[in-house]
């Protein structure tokens, strides 16, 4: 009896285990989140939203160049949907500033970035490069190297992007023509921190007196958004030609000095708010694929992008697009 009972139990166990195995084939394994595709989807959503309101609205994504190909490799297939969603790519530190300001970027890193930027160029996406250098021969070299590759560039002598450089005295590739699209631009000014100016009027007057083809500027002066009339006044260069005014906006980090920040987040943060960026105090990583964060950025009448659209900016410069790197490293 004991032997028969053992055989019976074994047979039943085998059947149950076999059945469990059959059932498991009915369930697909959990797919791993693609942080890169999440960011592509986010940028594409921003593009669809803004261009639905203003068809010629310009979308420029800064850094995160690996998003330009499907597999993130230089020889990979171009990410066509993402490329269709953007009009320009910004790249910091291409020739100067990668390891330290006023220091040439190592050739290996430089060439790696160029391989992606050339993919953008071949797809008719304009490349805007910000190098960080102040020594005049380095400034000259930055403009020369970028110009040789048909990149639009700006040599920033302050990493804080809080001033209009004294050198060169006039924008590189000075352009007297009217500029109505990225394709016609020759130069740009990246000026998002007006703190070195004594007041808003002085700041705006200094910008008006320049001949840059593109001004990348913040929507806000301190806590107050620029008005439609102020933005319109900036669109006229000192030489009376038209230019583009582009709004800076971070989409991969939340900033505790922005209008949307809630004081209770410091003790009871929303689920999508991650840790503070140690290099930029007051900036917090976000789960950018979360709908609550995306609702702050676009899609609603009180969203950040709607405020930018309402005062007449020509486009938006999306920063921290490379936030996917943080989550991939966790």
Percent of the chain with pLDDT over 90: 88
Domains, the chain, ranges and CATH? 31-328 (3.20.20)
Checking DSSP bridges between strand 224-225 and strand 220-221, what pairing results, if any? antiparallel
- Number of Cβ within a 10 Å radius of residue 55: 7
Lowest-pLDDT range of 26-30, 182-186, 244-248: 26-30
The chain-wide mean pLDDT, for the chain, equals: 92
Lowest-pLDDT range of 5-14, 53-62, 119-128: 5-14
pLDDT at residue 11, rounded to an integer: 42
Report whether 326 contacts 285 (CB < 8 A): yes
**pTM summary value:** 0.90
pLDDT at residue 29, rounded to an integer: 46
Residue 2, pLDDT > 50, answer no
Rounded CA-CA distance 225/230 in Å is: 10
Residue 161 phi/psi, 5° resolution? 55, 50
Rounded CA-CA distance 34/41 in Å is: 11
Give yes or no for a cis peptide into 168 (omega within 30° of 0).
yes
> With bands split at pLDDT 50, 70 and 90, how would you rate the model's confidence at 224?
very high
What is the pLDDT averaged over residues 18-32? 47
What is the pLDDT averaged over residues 240-259? 97
What is the pLDDT averaged over residues 85-103? 98
What is the pLDDT averaged over residues 145-151? 97
Rounded CA-CA distance 120/83 in Å is: 8
Report whether 68 contacts 116 (CB < 8 A): yes
């Amino acid at each position: 009896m004991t032997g028969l009972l053992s055989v019976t139990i074994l047979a039943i166990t085998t059947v149950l285990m076999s059945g469990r195995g059959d059932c498991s084939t009915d369930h697909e394994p959990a797919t791993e989140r693609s942080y890169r595709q999440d960011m592509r989807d986010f940028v594409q959503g921003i593009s669809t939203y803004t261009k639905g309101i203003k068809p010629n609205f310009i979308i420029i994504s800064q850094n995160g160049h690996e998003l330009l190909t499907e597999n993130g490799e230089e020889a990979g297939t171009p990410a066509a949907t993402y490329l269709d969603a953007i009009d320009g790519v910004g790249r910091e530190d291409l020739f100067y500033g990668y390891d330290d300001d006023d220091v040439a970027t190592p050739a290996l890193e430089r060439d790696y970035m160029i391989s992606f930027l050339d993919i953008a160029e071949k797809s008719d996406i304009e490349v805007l490069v910000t190098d960080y250098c102040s020594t005049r021969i380095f400034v000259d070299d930055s403009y020369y190297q970028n110009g040789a590759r048909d990149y639009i560039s700006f040599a920033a002598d302050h990493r804080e992007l809080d001033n209009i450089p004294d050198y060169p005295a006039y924008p590189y590739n000075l352009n007297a023509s009217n500029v109505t699209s990225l394709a016609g631009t020759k130069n740009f000014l990246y000026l998002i921190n007006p703190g070195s100016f004594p007041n808003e009027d002085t700041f705006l007057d200094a910008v008006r007196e320049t001949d840059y083809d593109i001004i990348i500027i913040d929507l806000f002066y301190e806590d107050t958004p620029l008005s439609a009339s102020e933005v319109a006044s900036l669109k006229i260069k000192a030489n009376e030609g038209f230019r583009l005014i582009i709004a800076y906006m971070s989409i991969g980090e939340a900033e505790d000095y922005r209008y949307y920040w809630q004081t209770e987040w410091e003790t009871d943060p929303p689920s999508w708010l991650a840790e503070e960026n140690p290099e930029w105090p007051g900036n917090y990583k976000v789960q950018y694929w979360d709908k609550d964060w995306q609702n702050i950025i676009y899609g609603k009448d009180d969203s950040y992008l709607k405020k930018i659209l309402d005062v007449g900016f020509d486009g938006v410069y999306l920063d921290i697009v490379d936030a996917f790197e943080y989550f991939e490293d966790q």
